[in-house]
Structure 1
């Protein structure tokens, strides 16, 4: 198995990109929690990726289409349009953002450990140990 260019490694890299974008949006939300009129940001990735992967399954060459979908996958940062319950029209819920920050941190850690483990296996194979 080719650990460097495999679809699973590409998927892990894309997941890390999504999680990093999510972390950035959460930190932006927290830093703007007291800014009047600020609307919370959120990042989407799974929905568009799932839809693209389903369409790739119907392609004449599903493996190549699957790889193409993974290479083109990008997270999307959106602004929440929900109404605010605060007088200053700020849409940041600090409790929700704190929970999402903790969850995202654990997910980032898991993804980094997974990539590190695969690279460690590759390093061991190269060294011949």
Structure 2
């Protein structure tokens, strides 16, 4: 059972491991959208959006419902929004740590970050 859970997690994170898929999820966190809306908001080809949606659908991360001649996509699990927010917090923490290390490095080497244009 534990191995199955680990495999599920690995597959789940692999499905998230693409910048365009992350952007799609961020947009769907704001509400349901069709391919044309996503394409317009992202500024990329519809085929690229469709391809990434297909991967997200295959991993049961998003689902589509027919709306006339279009398909509206939505997050299958609202907790995805929390996951994306936590990932952003982790990123921000790493960024703060990197800035702090750079400041410390500059202080130790007599570099003034303001005079160096940073």
If asked which structure has higher relative contact order (CA below 8 Å, sep 6+), I would say 1
TM value normalised by structure 2: 0.41
TM value normalised by structure 1: 0.39
In our comparison, the structure showing a higher alpha carbon Rg is 2
